[in-house]
A and B are shown apart, each in its own frame.
Chain A
Amino acid sequence: MPVVDVTVEVCGMAGDGTIAAGGLINEAMSDGGFSVLAFDSYPAEIRGFGRCVTRSRIGNEEIVALEDKTHVLISLNDEQARSRVPFLSENSMIFFDSNPAVYVREDKSLVSELDPETILFGMPFNDIATASAGTTRGRNLTALGCFAAICGAPHDLFRGVIIRKFKSKGEKVLQTNLRSFDAGFDYALEHFSNRIKSIFLIPDKVGGPKKVLLSGNQAIGKAAIDAGLKLYFGYPITPATPIMEYLATHLPALGGRVIQMEDEIASIGAVLGSFYAGTRAMTATSGPGFALMTELITHGVMAEIPAVIINAQRGGPSTGLPTKTEQSDLHAAVFGGPGDSPRIVIAPTNVAECYHYTVKSFQLAEKYQTPVILLADFYLDNRVENLPMPEASESEKSGSNVLPENSLKGSYRRYEITESGISPRALPGMEGFIFSATGLEHTQTGVPDYSPENHMLMTEKRHRKITGALGDLPSPEEFSSGGKLDVGVIGWGSTFGSILEAVTSARNRGLRVGGLKITSIFPFHESVIRAFMNRCSEILIPELNYAGQLANLIGYIHSKDVVRLNRVTGTPFPPSAILEKIEYLVQVGDE
């Protein structure tokens, strides 16, 4: 079977059905047995204007990142799609409406921008949709039909997905969409019969476990439910809101509750209260909401109360770029808030890790009695991957509260100094124990005490506890052939997929390059990172923030300055930019 690695893009104006069309492509291709990694970008405004773009990378091998270039562009609005032209690959295919409602001048035309190698498929989307279904509302499905026919995707594959998606909306809606799709499919076969490309040849038998399409946010929501989440408190904010939506759909039926609070301060307060009472709870927010939470997060640190907080990063500062991706909350997650307030920060790099690290966050929070921050980002939250349905074992999901022994009744000290820093925590209602929670510095029994000796003692305890959590945190994962490396690339979060793609390309070109994935942002595995750095002539750290926040955090470990590669474009890190930097560093090193 030929190698398939195609990036398909749908671009339109908000309201054109762009995201819906992209979603159908993802589902159909996933059903067909292909690997899919997709990412949507849309305007911050609710509806009516602004550019929507879905990008789907489809292949028959594992996909870890979006590709820089687009091979197929389906334009539902040419004026918007013009901005995508620089990202087109050579010999790309363009599907566009050949009979728009009004005449378009050259300087506003999509087609006028294209290279001559571009393969054009102009079809009257509106006319076809209207003739088949009596309305232009299905023109996105018509475009999809043309795309499916030209690319050689089976007709029934898409029809099955359309039926699955629209059957709950009633027969009329379903038939409108099916007819619009069929009409586009038939039109393409009739008018472009000699230009059919058999790109998406569906394998007869799909091997391996059945895959499902899951976004990072859906994976987080599912993980929370699997981990026994009982209460979700939140305030809507892009890009974290889909987590609340997912939980609102699924959690009540399982006996849990989703409560929209008045703001993020109330949300984190309720999460702390819930965990204080021994019930698993969670909140999810983004940068501006996280900023509001920081005081209470440090309350959790001081009072040693568990909490699970999802920070779905977006472009900042302040309200910033609500629907753009960025990795600029690392400092805020690790250091945000008053005082020395160590907490656990984990950053997944793909959808599967969104699931597993969310599950893990609950155990870590309970065991180490501290807020755990899962640092995702827009690209990871909104990204869709198809993967075997992630599941957690019973032991991964089980409670991990460190409860006091019965023998301690009467002599129990809530903040007892221990070697690990972990003090057994009594839950309200446990007979014979006292229950203390205070944001003031306190003694081992929980009595306020501001003496220098006590503050030193308790601060050390809290730091010792968090450092000790390293043993339960995922160690950095290396991707190299071992030995000395000319360039070592270290990354975190959603950018690591792009790093892995670039490192793999560099290695395929014979370069001595390796990648190191760091998911435990704080505490971090200093010795493992040092060992890797010591084997590398140059350390490159690409990040989607301006200053290089991970580089600031771990750069001191390296014997010389690490090389930073920073972008704040609001878009995923292009693998080509990382590869280019790797090649430059190798070349400079050789000279």
Chain B
Amino acid sequence: MAQEHCVIIGNGPAANQAALTLRENSSDARITIVGQEPFPHYRPHLLPEYIAGRLSQEDLCVNTPAFYKECGIKVRLGQKVVHVDFNKRELVLDHKEVISFGGLIIACGGKQRIPEHLQVFDDLMLTLKTPADAAQWIEQLSQVDSVLIVGGDLTSLSLTKALLSLEKRVIFMLNEDSFWPVPLCNELSEKIKHMLTERGVEVIKAGRIKRVTRVSDRSIEVETDNKTLRVGILGAFFGMTPNVKFLARSGLDIERGVLVDEYLQTRFDLVYAAGDCAQVYHPTIKDYWVSIGYQNAINLGKIAGLNLLGGMLSVDASPESIFFVDGIIVNTSWWTEF
């Protein structure tokens, strides 16, 4: 394995940590990262700071391209994997390029989750996952003075702080979709409302969104069960879902994410999954759980890299830190980090 071609699908924290781990432990391996986004590996949690103007785009980057060159890791950006053939051990990119691999780590991360009833308004809402999203925020914020945030997650809270620093009016809409997959009980809802209000955010409880209409270049009208609001930007923050649709016909076991054992191995030899796209089996609770968060992704990336080289490290997640939400088992550490 050490001298074969190790391919990593994804360019987030799990993917990059896996690549670096492979390099550190195998000087001969040919390592390729294939990332769908055109951006070098960045820290997504700093995007709000970038929007606030406190960081440059370069500040978001974890490593320079030169670093990867020095490490002998080939990084291919803006290139999407559309199919993986595990029998032939080949993956296909969207421009019909075929890449052979000896070992594979799937760390393609998650994509923004938009609840089904809001998907029809997709083009009227801004999300924040990538620098391209951030660029859209920056462009639109220069023209508007108010933002309505629906849903709610770690990113939305950081962004709210950034928006306040830019002296924008921020309205935060709390409803049952907020802070998915955490169950928003009354107690938690009040706690969040208090925290946000203290910082100058207008918190409303407005039920579900029924209609979103663009009124003008600078104005969007949002109609809910009990309110109609006019704001400059509508921001949607409903967490992430594993971005594994391209693997649907590959023969991998997929539920929401790629199902892997506690060693992060899939049902195929020398094929691992790590980070937000993986559902990891827990031998104690005898079920699968999803890891969310930057640091967790790094930990999983490291384990996947070591195990691909022959290691047998299992993921260390105590049953107490995992809880059930909406049918999924979630590792809570992302929440406690906040």
Which residues of A approach B to under 8 Å, CB–CB? 96-100, 102-106, 109, 111-112, 114-117, 119-120, 122, 194
Contact = CB atoms under 8 A, between A and B. Distances in A.
A119 B97 contact: no
A104 B96 contact: yes
Contacts of B65: 115-117
A425 to B, nearest CB: 69
Kindly list the 5 A-B residue pairs having the minimum CB-CB distance in the complex, ordered from nearest. A116-B75, A98-B95, A109-B97, A120-B78, A116-B77
A99 B95 contact: yes
Nearest to A99: B96
A109 B74 CA distance: 14
B93 interface: yes
Given A98-B96, A109-B95, 11 more contacts: A97-B95, A98-B94, A98-B95, A100-B96, A103-B96, A109-B97, A112-B97, A119-B78, A120-B78, A122-B94, A194-B132
B301 interface: no
A103 B77 CA distance: 19
B40 to A, nearest CB: 6
Nearest to B79: A111
B328 interface: no
A453 B218 CA distance: 98
A167 B77 CA distance: 42
A104 B94 CA distance: 11
Contacts of A112: 76, 97, 99
A105 B97 contact: yes
B102 to A, nearest CB: 13
Contacts of A100: 95-96
Contact of A106 (B40, B77, B98, B136): B98
B204 to A, nearest CB: 31
A103 to B, nearest CB: 5
Contacts of B132: 194
B76 to A, nearest CB: 7
Given A106-B100, A111-B79, A112-B76, A119 B38 contact: yes
Contacts of B97: 103-106, 109, 111-112
A96 B77 contact: no
B98 to A, nearest CB: 5
A105 B96 contact: no
Interface in B165-213: none
A322 B96 CA distance: 36
B334 interface: no
A114 B78 CA distance: 11
A111 B96 contact: no
Contacts of B222: none
Contact of B95 (A105, A111, A116): A111
A96 B94 CA distance: 12
Interface string B68-100: 100000011111000000000000111111111
B92 to A, nearest CB: 7
B135 interface: yes
6 contacts: A98-B94, A100-B96, A106-B97, A111-B93, A115-B65, A116-B40
Contacts of A111: 76, 79, 93, 95, 97
Contacts of A194: 132, 135-136
B98 A96 contact: no
A103 B136 contact: no
Contacts of B99: 106, 112
A116 B76 CA distance: 5
Interface in B114-149: 132, 135-136
A77 B8 CA distance: 28
Contacts of A120: 38, 77-79
Nearest to A112: B97
A98 B135 CA distance: 26
A408 B38 CA distance: 84
Contacts of A106: 97-100
A139 to B, nearest CB: 15
A122 B76 CA distance: 14
A103 B94 contact: no
Contacts of B76: 111-112, 114, 116
A122 B95 contact: yes
B40 A105 contact: no
Given A111-B79, A112-B76, A116-B77, A103 B92 contact: yes
B319 to A, nearest CB: 40
A518 to B, nearest CB: 42
Nearest to A94: B78
Nearest to A100: B96
B20 to A, nearest CB: 15
A115 B69 CA distance: 9
A99 B79 CA distance: 13
B213 to A, nearest CB: 22
Contacts of B136: 194
Contacts of A119: 38, 78
Nearest to B35: A116
A194 B78 CA distance: 14
Nearest to B77: A116
Contacts of A114: 76
A72 B97 CA distance: 22
A104 B99 CA distance: 9
Instruction: Specify which of A96, A105, A109 lies most central, judged by the most chain B CB atoms within 10 Å of its CB.
Output: A109
A114 B95 CA distance: 14
Nearest to B93: A111
Given A116-B65, A119-B38, A194-B135, A102 B79 contact: no
B96 A102 contact: yes
* Most chain B Cβ neighbours within 10 Å, of A102, A115, A116: A116
Contacts of B77: 116, 120
Contacts of A122: 94-95
Interface string B219-236: 000000000000000000
A103 B78 CA distance: 19
Nearest to A105: B98
Contacts of A102: 96
Nearest to B78: A120
Contacts of B98: 103-106
Nearest to A115: B65
Nearest to A194: B132
A109 to B, nearest CB: 4
A194 B37 CA distance: 13
A111 B40 CA distance: 16
Interface string B34-67: 0000101000000000000000000000000100
A423 to B, nearest CB: 70
A194 B75 CA distance: 23
B284 to A, nearest CB: 41
